[in-house]
Structure 1
Amino acid sequence: MSEQKPIGSPFGAASTALNVVEGLDLTGKTAIVTGGYSGLGVETTRALASAGAHVIVPARDRGKAERTLAGIGNVTIETMDLTDAASIAAFSNRIVGQGRAVSILINSAGIMATPLARDVDGHESQFATNHLGHFRLVAGLWPALVKSGNARVVSVSSRGHQICPVDFDDIDFRARPYDKWQAYGQAKTANALFALGLDQRGTAFGVRAFSLHPGVILTDLARHLSEEEINAFDVYDENGDRRVDPSRDLKSPEQGAATSVWAATSPQLVGIGGVYCEDCEISLPQEEAPGDKGVAPWAMDPQAADRLWDISKTITGVSPGDM
């Protein structure tokens, strides 16, 4: 794993996804963006497509995806439900069966602070959607990622990972009371640990992985929050307008998508992987209070990454690299 320290990126908190791809030619490359038809995912899709990549957007709501992405070229919409193992397998088999090489996979879809719900196997929904679904997807797409020879897998985590580590003894809240923020925190920690574990296993196959915090952006992700909870993030100004202040981590969707796109495309990151990024740069380890910049120690712990990998493999019955 490369060191968790900045590398002198020319971009920063105020950069947009389109700024990041300016001058890059992604013609001939295939990218897949989960959640690519809502929130930050739309801007991620737009930027990659504008640089010439063919972007595949898996969608549970195909009609919404078609409406949202209308007018953006180089985009194909495919049916997939990230909460359904069979749907993920069918999607992956279609892509692999077409003989495609997938150069970029951005795992941007997710849910946040939801009421307690479980998937069909009884696993808590935030962990199941944000982590297990993407673990299954990477496993299914593994031959296509390896085929590219220099693939990047980007996991959209969050500063919310600083809330807590993964509770390996009770991931699904069977013994402890359900807390929606604890569930979100461990799911976002899992996103970072997955990138760490995947990079360790994928480097020999030309597959590198990254995780990141996109910034605080008011999107549909906040649909389960109360007005009071949303106001606590200080996302509105005195006139009730959405506040955009990248210096305080309050970003527009275009700025929020920038770090995902930077991690997926930056030439500076060649030979690097397994790191957590924010503001279009590799982060430093967290030194200040929770909520400040940096990555928490439990989200870059190789032993925790291995433990998560083994548990995920047991739960899903699949594993990237096993095919």
Structure 2
Amino acid sequence: MTYGDYRQTPLHTGFGAATTATEALAGRALSGMQAIVTGGASGLGLETVRVLAGAGARVVVPARDRRQAQAALTGLAGVEVAALDLLDPQAIDSFAAAFLASGRALHVLVNGAGLMASPLLRDARGYEAQFATNHLGHFQLTARLWPALRQARGARVVCVSSLGHRQAGVDLDDPHFLRQPYDKWRAYAQSKSANALFAVELDRRGAAHEVRAFSLHPGAILTPLVRHLDQDDLRRVGALDDAGQVNPPPQSGFKNVAQGAATAVWCATSAQLDGLGGVYCEDCDIAALVADDSTGPGVRRWAADPAQARRLWALSEQMTGVRFDPGAA
């Protein structure tokens, strides 16, 4: 039995698709906990921050536009904003160095910021932007914050993946579309598969140091993440009807924001996951491992394959120049 087969077993938690982030918290008090939530100034990330801070956690929200983030987070106690651009390796290092200099332990890191189905964009290194933002930026950020995660003596890293991973695994030979035509949906899918694989290998390496990792599909939700989608794209994902009108959640099957943030909050805080890790979750439960040609929910084997996760880890170290040794202090 493989690592992925063993771990990917639903718990039957009693929660479901309609569970909200507040309900997923299950009344747990988070006083004394420190969290960082990338993408925490809008959409699901903002709701995640609201619920964590409301339960007593102190939360740092890194953002490219600090002024915009501060406006979005106005009125939330215990929340601070810092500068970070996940496409800029130096900015990642600066943010992490400042956090480490504060001496704080880091109990929860939610890697939630991202791009979806964007036109072809490349960073200064020539890396495709969805892979660079959604995976490589978070890989480097987690590596740089590692001392603070270890200091927590019981930290969790939560990687926001997507059911979109079912469209493609990671092309380890050409992840940046240098030798093949760019496909925005395949690029998004491989970045989401990368998020899941990162959690698999991070958990394997981090468990001995009391750092557990999880990935998740939040559900389909209309948030600012869809900003690059045209009307045909929105119809494809079920957000618009044939007349071009927005399908509200009850008709479309989409979740609202409170429901969409639930699984991230559950992964970050639930006692139901104590002693577990390296799993892909959905609807506040561990998802089933499903066949690669499945069209329904669950995690495809290529996104839960420990051998592929190790290969992606090595490639990520090579691409970022960051040697990530979780055993290091």
Partner of 1:279: 283
| Distance of 1:95 and 1:217 partners within structure 2 | 31
Pairing 1:257–2:261 present: yes
Q: Which amino acid in structure 2 is aligned with residue 194 of structure 1? A: F
Residues 236, 173 of structure 1: alpha-carbon distance in 2 compared, 3 angstrom cutoff: closer
Partner of 2:245: 240
Counterpart contact for 2:39–2:113, Cα < 8 Å: yes
Matches within 5 A, 1:1-323: 1=3, 3-236=7-240, 240-245=245-250, 249-287=253-291, 289-318=293-322, 319-321=324-326, 322=328
Residues 189, 66 of structure 1: alpha-carbon distance in 2 compared, 3 angstrom cutoff: same
| Distance of 1:125 and 1:288 partners within structure 2 | 26
Residues 206, 281 of structure 1: alpha-carbon distance in 2 compared, 3 angstrom cutoff: same
How big is the shift at 1:39? Answer: 1.1
Counterpart contact for 2:44–2:261, Cα < 8 Å: yes
Counterpart contact for 2:158–2:268, Cα < 8 Å: yes
Q: Which amino acid in structure 1 is aligned with residue 132 of structure 2? A: A
| Distance of 2:106 and 2:221 partners within structure 1 | 28
| Distance of 1:317 and 1:289 partners within structure 2 | 35
| Distance of 2:68 and 2:152 partners within structure 1 | 30
Counterpart contact for 2:292–2:301, Cα < 8 Å: no
Q: Which amino acid in structure 2 is aligned with residue 245 of structure 1? A: P
State the secondary structure of the residue aligned to 2:219.
Answer: coil
Residues 291, 217 of structure 1: alpha-carbon distance in 2 compared, 3 angstrom cutoff: farther
How big is the shift at 1:18? Answer: 1.0
How big is the shift at 1:24? Answer: 0.3
| Distance of 2:306 and 2:110 partners within structure 1 | 22
| Distance of 2:49 and 2:39 partners within structure 1 | 9
Q: Which amino acid in structure 2 is aligned with residue 169 of structure 1? A: D
Residues 176, 58 of structure 1: alpha-carbon distance in 2 compared, 3 angstrom cutoff: same
TM, length-normalised to structure 2: 0.94
How big is the shift at 1:241? Answer: 4.6
| Distance of 2:325 and 2:234 partners within structure 1 | 37
State the secondary structure of the residue aligned to 2:127.
Answer: coil
Aligned length: 322
**CA offsets per residue over residues 217-260 of structure 1, 9 Å max, x none?**
111111111112102222246893542139x7510011000000
State the secondary structure of the residue aligned to 2:122.
Answer: coil
How big is the shift at 1:74? Answer: 1.4
State the secondary structure of the residue aligned to 1:208.
Answer: strand
| Distance of 2:173 and 2:250 partners within structure 1 | 39
**CA offsets per residue over residues 198-226 of structure 1, 9 Å max, x none?**
00000011000000000011111111111
Residues 251, 84 of structure 1: alpha-carbon distance in 2 compared, 3 angstrom cutoff: same
Counterpart contact for 1:13–1:249, Cα < 8 Å: no
Identity score, percent: 51
How big is the shift at 1:291? Answer: 4.2
| Distance of 1:87 and 1:173 partners within structure 2 | 25
How big is the shift at 1:79? Answer: 1.0
Counterpart contact for 2:291–2:301, Cα < 8 Å: no
| Distance of 1:145 and 1:20 partners within structure 2 | 23
TM, length-normalised to structure 1: 0.96
Compare 83-92 and 232-241 and name the one that shifted more: 232-241
Counterpart contact for 1:163–1:290, Cα < 8 Å: no
State the secondary structure of the residue aligned to 2:108.
Answer: strand
| Distance of 2:285 and 2:152 partners within structure 1 | 25
How big is the shift at 1:287? Answer: 3.9
Q: Which amino acid in structure 2 is aligned with residue 108 of structure 1? A: G
Which runs of 5 or more structure 1 residues have no equivalent in the other structure?
none
Counterpart contact for 2:292–2:300, Cα < 8 Å: no
Compare 290-299 and 1-10 and name the one that shifted more: 1-10
| Distance of 1:320 and 1:64 partners within structure 2 | 35
Counterpart contact for 1:212–1:277, Cα < 8 Å: yes
| Distance of 1:215 and 1:113 partners within structure 2 | 16
